[in-house]
Homo-oligomer: A and B are copies of this chain.
Amino acid sequence: MSSRKTATIRDVAEAAGVSIATVSKFINRQQSFSASVEEKLRSAIAELGYSQNPAARSMVTGKTTAIGLAVMDIANPHYANVMKGANRVALANDYNLLVVDLEEKGTGVREMLEPLALRTDGLIVSSRIPADVVDWLAGLNKPVVFLGQPERQGVVCVGMDSVEVASLLAGYLVQQGFTRIGYVGYGRAAWNAERLRGLHDVLDAAGVELMEFDAEAPTSEAGEQVAARVLLRPDRPQAVIGCNDLVAIGFMTEARSLGFKIPQDVAVAGIDNIPTSRYVSPSLTTVDVFSEATGETVMTRIISMIGDEASRKLSPPPSLKPLLVVRESAKRQDRIAATEV
C-alpha cells in the first residue's frame, strides 16, 4: 500500500496499460472512457494509492488552487472568526488556505506577503497595510481583496462600512441620553478616521461632546492601560466606546478595579461582537460586524474573481450590514432594568 516512492501518473498508466494522457484525463474527469479502461484505471489508482502532485499540476496550469489570507492578529477573535468563515468556503471549493499572521507589524509586511503571493491564486489581506505594499499588491496581476474599508480607489474590498458601524453605536448612546462620550481609537488602523467621522456625524448633530483617546494597540491590555487616563480626570466621559471589543473589555476591567461601576459610573461599548463579549460582566454592548460571514463572503468573492476576469473590478455584492447588540454595559444609569442578554 505504501511503497517507498509515491506513485506518479506514469505508474498508474503502466499498471492500467494505458497512456499517461488517458490517466490525466481520467483524474480530471475530462471525458468518458470505455468501461474496461475506466475500471482498470480505478483499481490501478486505488492499488498504488496514487494522488496528483499539486506542484506538477500547477506548473502547467498556472493555477495553485490555494488562497492566501493575511490577518493583523490571529489571536483577535474577530480575525479568527474571519478565518473560520474563509476556511469553510475554501474547503468547499477545493481550495487550500495559506495563512500569515502579521502580528500587527507595520514593517516588513511585503516580505511576509511575497511568498504568499507566489503560492496562491489570490490574496485576502487585512486593510491596515502600508500604501507602498498596497501598490505592489495591485500590480501583482492576481486577485486581491482587502478586509475592511478601502483607503484607495480601485481596490476590491469586503467588510462593514466603518462610518455606519460608528454611527450606529453613537446613535444608541445619544438615545440613552449621554452627553459626553469618549472614543478609544487606534490611530494606526485604516478604519480609525472613518469611525471618527461616523461618530461625529451623529454626535455633532445631537450636540454631544466627543473626547478622543488613542490606545497603544487594538488589544485588551491596551484597553486596560488607557482606562486611568480616560477616567481619572474631572471631565471624564459618561460613556466610552472602544475601537473593538478587546479594547472595551480591557477598559471595563481596569475601570472596575479603579472603583468605577459599569454602567452606572461609566458606560462602555465595543465593536465586533466577539464571542467573549457575551460572557464578561456586565455583558458588553457592541456592534456585530459578522466576522465569520465576512470571511465567507470574502472567500466566495475571491474565488469568483479567479478565472473570471470580468468580475475582478465589479463592486462587491450587497455588503454586510452591521447590527447593534444591546447588552448591559452601556445602559444609562436611570434606565437600567433587568434585561440581560
Point out residues on A near B: beta carbons under 8 Å: 1-2, 4, 6, 51-56, 58-59, 64, 66, 73-75, 77, 80-81, 83-84, 87-88, 91, 94, 96-101, 103, 112, 114-116, 118-119, 139-141, 220, 249-250, 252-253, 256-257, 275-276, 278-281, 340
A33 CB → nearest B CB, Å: 24
Known contacts A59-B59, A96-B119; 16 further A-B pairs (Cβ under 8 A): A1-B139, A2-B139, A6-B141, A51-B118, A54-B119, A55-B59, A75-B275, A77-B77, A80-B80, A83-B99, A91-B112, A94-B115, A96-B115, A96-B116, A257-B340, A276-B276
In the bound complex, do residue A2 and residue B87 qualify as a contact, i.e. CB atoms below 8 Å apart?
Answer: no
Residue of B nearest to A52 (CB): B118
Expressed in whole angstroms, the minimum distance between the Cβ of A241 and any Cβ of chain B is 18
Chain B residues whose C-beta falls within 8 Å of the C-beta of A250 in the assembled complex: 279
Interchain CB contact (< 8 A) of A103 among B84, B114, B116, B253: B84
Given A77-B80, A281-B280, A100 contacting B87 (CB threshold 8 A): yes
A279's contact among B56, B96, B119, B253, by CB below 8 Å, is which?
Answer: B253
Instruction: Pick the residue among B55, B114, B249, B253 that contacts A55 (CB under 8 A).
Output: B55
User: B99, A87: Cβ atoms under 8 Å?
Assistant: yes
Which of B59, B101, B281 contacts A84, CB < 8 Å?
A: B101
Which residue of chain B has the shortest Cβ distance to A291 in the bound complex? B75
Nearest chain B CB to A264 CB, angstrom units? 15
- Give complex CA distance A120, B279 in Å: 38
- Asked if A97 meets B99 with Cβ closer than 8 Å, knowing A118-B51, A276-B276, the reply is yes
Closest chain B CB from A266 CB (angstroms): 16
